[in-house]
Amino acid sequence: MLDTLVAGLLRGNVYALGAVGISLVFGVMNVVNFAQFSFFGLGAMLAWFFVAQEGLPFWLALPLVLVVCAGLGLLVNVAVVRPLARFLPLAAMLSTYAVSQILDNASQLAFTAQFRVFPKVLPTSNLHVGSMRFGTSDLVMLGVTATVMLGMSAFLRYGKVGQAIRATAQDQEAALQVGIPVGLVQHLSFVIASALGGLAGVFVSLYVGVANPTSGLTTGMTAFVAAALGGLGSLVGAVVGGFVLGIVEAFGISLAGDTARQIIVFAVLVVVLVVRPGGLLGKVPLIATEPLTGTFLGKGRPLRVPRWVWPAAFVLGGIVVPFVADDYVLTTGTQVLVYAVIAAGFTVTAGQAGVVALGQAGPIAIGAYTSALLTLHLHVSFWVALPVAGLVAAVIASILSSPVWGVKGHYVSIATLGVGTAIVAVIQLVLPQGIYGIPVPTWAGTPLSTPRAYYLVDAGVLALTLLVTWRLRASHLGKVISSVGSDEVAALASGVRVRDYKALAFAVSAFFAGIGGSLLAHQYTYIDPTIFTMLMSLLVVTIVIMGGVSLPYGAVVGSLVLIGAMELLRFTPELRIIAYGLVLILVVRFRPGGILVRTA
């Protein structure tokens, strides 16, 4: 009992540090900062480098790590985040994801990807409570966190600059009007957050014992959840959220095993958000519209697409490419098409209903497993299993997500991320073994297993998807869904049941996600839970944002750019991901509303 509590406290300590940084940046800039995750890994590797390689004493290395992280944080904000955050938080969020890719891979180039044993700077098991051993190292970490938190809260309460940070967080425009240099305040917050991220990274590796450049991701994700749990923008909330999560995790694992960790984390999150839509200590968002997309419409300049482009694109993609391109281009094409199907369906939720759901890997996995199990065990034809996979994904994902539609603001994104992740975690619990030998589609007895056949099947499904989403947009139902995304308050005032329409939009998206999952399963002929990751969910969101959030055909362009770029950049293997990140940032910089945009 007591030992589990101690384990939870130590764990929560790290989450709290990370969560404070995320909450701080969110408060003053309204941007969810994925780059923060990278500072965990970076802080750990820098500390390892200074102590183990350069032989510096730990107490000298620690401030150095903080200075480097703070400097990088400033650079990231000046160069990337702030120019975008001024007009589009969604674009800024996408660019922070790109920055995190660049930082992780730069760190990998500098330090290699090997796991490094972190030097033992302080005794780690010289004390004990009950049977739980811990060390001076853990006490120092708790002490440092407490000091930092107390210092931060005194600074925010009594310091002039701290007050400026709080004012900016409360109301940016009002802060500007009373003469607060909001730009400087934002830079400063970014610097503090990045340094805290670095510190948390050092602590994670002190606690865990080993580190590598990507080791911050899991901790970062949990810290992000902790920040949401406590209430984004609330620093006390972040600390509370961190400790609550650490302790809940420890007890959950002790009762149900490590595999249940993610399910526990996200179940707690969803329950808290449903009961307290603003997090434990945060304010309930006043603006009913999703802030990520609410200001989105009309910001970008639409590219005028002449009418002849549509038949031309259809002929090119559906007829010319399959009969001219080689198998490599066709295989890459199948991935582009499948993700285009998933993303085009997702525009109904993200674009029309205005909810940036982050957990699409969940319904994709449901579709893939449904289709695989139906064809393997019940010997159902692929052509029957495909729509059934979509339906099952829509039904299950809708039921599981039904509590979250009352949640507002960014929280709904985080809640859907929770549902999606939990779905995959449940699949891993129930069916941990991979599924082998999933039958390939056949047509009149001929197996459709060549790249060209897959391409044509996928292209056909995509054409149907675009047709359905286009008809949906034009229908009365589609207009109602769009009204929810454009102005939720007005929609409510007009008697539209906002929650129900969001749920319906999500069901439509989940249907197409399930279809996409089925297509992937029958092409790979093998699936296991490691395929349906958070990165897959992020890719779907990125594609939609890239293409223009409310345009189904924009998703095709987004998919082509994002999956195509990964392949086109193969000429520079080591720098591929860094180049990919730069391409993302450039596109976002010049087309912050997406490549194709629709005006309101």
Partner 1 sequence: MTTITRRALLAGVAALGSAALLAGCGLNDSAAASTPGSGTVYFGVSAAITGQYAQYGEQFKEGFDLALDQVNAKGGIDGHPVALKYEDSQSDPKQSVSVAQKFVGDKDVVLVFGDYSSAASIPASPIYTAGKLLQYGFNNSNPSFTTKGSQYQWSTSITTSATYQWTADYIKKQGVSSVGVTYLDTADWGIPAFAAFKAEADKVGLTITDAEGVLDSSDDYRPSLTKAVAGKPDAFVHIGYGPDAAKLVSQLRSIGYQGTFYGGQDEQSFDGTPDAEGSVVGAQFLASNPDPAVQAFVTAFKARYPNEKTVTGFEAGAYDALNVAVAAARLGGATREGILQGFQQLKDVPSVVYGSITFDPATRRVASPQLTPTVLRGGTWVALHG
Please, what sign has the CA dihedral across residues 287, 290, 296, 297? negative
Q: Which of residues 415-444 bind partner 1 (CB under 8 A)?
A: 428, 432-434, 436-437, 440
Burial class (CB in 10 A: 0-12, 13-18, 19+), 10: buried
DSSP state of 289: S
Q: Given the complex with partner 1, which of 291 and 564 has the nearer CB atom?
A: 564
The one-letter code for the residue type at 86 is: R
Residues within window 13-52 making contact with partner 1, judged by CB under 8 A: none
Residues 273-284 as b/e (b if ≥16 CB within 10 A, e otherwise) read: beebbbbbbbee
Query: Which residue lies nearer to partner 1 by CB, 278 or 592?
Result: 592
Contact 207, 14 (CB under 8 A): yes
Q: Which is nearer to partner 1, 242 or 409 (CB)?
A: 242
Residues 466-477 as b/e (b if ≥16 CB within 10 A, e otherwise) read bebbeebbeeee
How many residues make contact with partner 1 (CB under 8 A)? 88
Q: In the complex, what is the shortest distance from the CB of residue 36 to partner 1, in angstroms, rounded to a whole number?
A: 17
From candidates 51, 70, 196, 531, binder to partner 1 by CB under 8 A: 531
Q: CA–CA distance from 193 to each of 46, 76, 168, 186, 236 (Å)?
A: 17, 12, 16, 10, 15
Using CB under 8 A as the binding rule, the residues of this chain from 100 to 119 that contact partner 1 are: 105, 108, 112-117
* Locus of tokens 């970076």: 42
When the beta carbons of 353 and 457 are compared against partner 1, the nearer one is 457
Q: How far is the CB of 216 from partner 1 (least distance, A)?
A: 10
The pair of three-digit structure tokens given for residue 14, joined into one six-digit string: 């790290």
Cβ count near 456 (within 10 Å): 20
Whichever of 71 and 447 has its CB closer to partner 1, that residue is 447
Can you give the length of the chain in residues? Answer: 600
Window 144-203: residues binding partner 1 (CB under 8 A)? none
Stretch 494-523 residues interacting with partner 1 (CB under 8 A): 520, 523
Tell me whether residue 156 or residue 563 sits nearer to partner 1 (CB atom).
563
For residue 133, list its beta bridge partners: 128
Contact flag: residue 327 with partner 1 (CB under 8 A): yes
Indicate which single residue of 85, 577, 584, 588 sits in contact with partner 1 (rule: CB under 8 A). 577
In degrees, rounded to 5, the angle at the alpha carbon of residue 280 between the alpha carbons of residues 279 and 285 is: 35
Residues 218-237, one symbol each (x = binds partner 1 by CB under 8 A, - = not), give: xx------------------
- Minimum Å distance from CB 571 to partner 1? 8
> For partner 1, which is the closer residue by CB, 55 or 495?
55
Q: With respect to partner 1, which residue has the nearer C-beta, 7 or 484?
A: 7
User: Mask 358-397, x = binds partner 1 (CB under 8 A)?
Assistant: ----------------------------------------
